[in-house]
Structure 1
Amino acid sequence: MVQTTANQLKNRLRRADGQLQGILKMVDEGRDCQEILTQLAAVRSGVERMMGVVVAENVKQCVVDESLTAEQQARLQSALDLVVKTH
Structure 2
Amino acid sequence: MEYNDKMKNRLKRIEGQVRGVVKMMEDEKDCHAIVSQMSAVRNALDRAIGVVVSENLEQCVREQIEKGEETDETIKEAVNLLVKSR
Q: TM-score, normalised by structure 2?
A: 0.68
Deviation at 1:2, TM superposition (A): 4.6
Paired letter, 1:56 = S
How many residue pairs match? The answer is 67
Rounded Cα–Cα distance in structure 2 between residues aligned with 1:31 and 1:21: 14
Deviation at 1:14, TM superposition (A): 0.7
- Please show how residues 3-82 of structure 1 align to structure 2 within 5 Å: 6-64=4-62
Paired letter, 2:53 = V
Q: Secondary structure at the match of 1:9?
A: helix
Rounded Cα–Cα distance in structure 2 between residues aligned with 1:64 and 1:20: 35
Q: RMSD of the TM alignment (CA)?
A: 2.1
- The higher-RCO structure (CA 8 Å, 6+ apart) is 1
Q: What runs of 5+ residues in structure 1 fail to find an aligned partner?
A: 68-82
Q: What runs of 5+ residues in structure 2 fail to find an aligned partner?
A: 67-81
Runs of 4+ residues over 3 Å off in structure 1: none
